Amino acid sequence: MKCPHCGCVESRVVDSRSTDEGSAIRRRRECTVCEKRFTTYEKLEEIPLIVVKRNGNRQMFDRAKILNGLIYAGGKQNIPLHVFEQLVDEVERELRNNFSQEVSSDEIGKRVLAKLYEIDEVAYVRFASVYHKFTSIDDFKKALAEMPPKNSTS
């Protein structure tokens, strides 16, 4: 592994730990030349998941796009980042388990919205406004009227 500090390709592993529920390994390494430490991650290489957009274009699945959309939708709702990361992890796992190589952007949006609704209704409406391309206040009113009843656990 190439040292990010000096470029040397020789390093030794100082510590290894499982991360992401066992789907990756985090390794702390030390360069044999400059003796600085750095972290690397080892993860199973998966078959690429292709997203088919509404206009027919295809692109690689990018979890960062979903995460950015969730952060934006969450706005000032004080939703911790790890909650959004967990949501994206769940959606990605579902997609990889249920689709072999291609999935529509609509399917991704539906799954994200279903999970987001259980987390925060305001973030749900904000995300839906982008996903459904709201153009007027009437679109918001209609979406609010059509919101499913929230599962109550109290």
- pLDDT range class, residue 119, cuts 50, 70, 90: very high
Proportion of the chain above pLDDT 70, given as a percent:
96
Q: How far apart are CA 82 and CA 110, in angstroms?
A: 21
Q: How far apart are CA 143 and CA 89, in angstroms?
A: 26
Over residues 36-45, mean pLDDT: 89
- Mean pLDDT value across the chain: 90
**Dihedral sign for Cα atoms in the order 85, 96, 149, 137:** positive
Q: Does residue 114 have a pLDDT over 80?
A: yes
For the chain, list the strands marked E by DSSP.
11-19, 24-31, 37-43, 50-52, 58-60, 102-104
Asked which of 3-7, 21-25, 94-98, 131-135 is least confident by mean pLDDT, the reply is: 21-25
3-state SS assignment for residue 69: helix
User: pLDDT tens across 41-71, in order?
Assistant: 888 777 889 999 999 999 999 999 999 999 9
Q: How far apart are CA 30 and CA 54, in angstroms?
A: 47
Given this model, what pLDDT does residue 154 score? Answer: 46
- pLDDT range class, residue 132, cuts 50, 70, 90: confident
DSSP 8-state symbol, 133: T
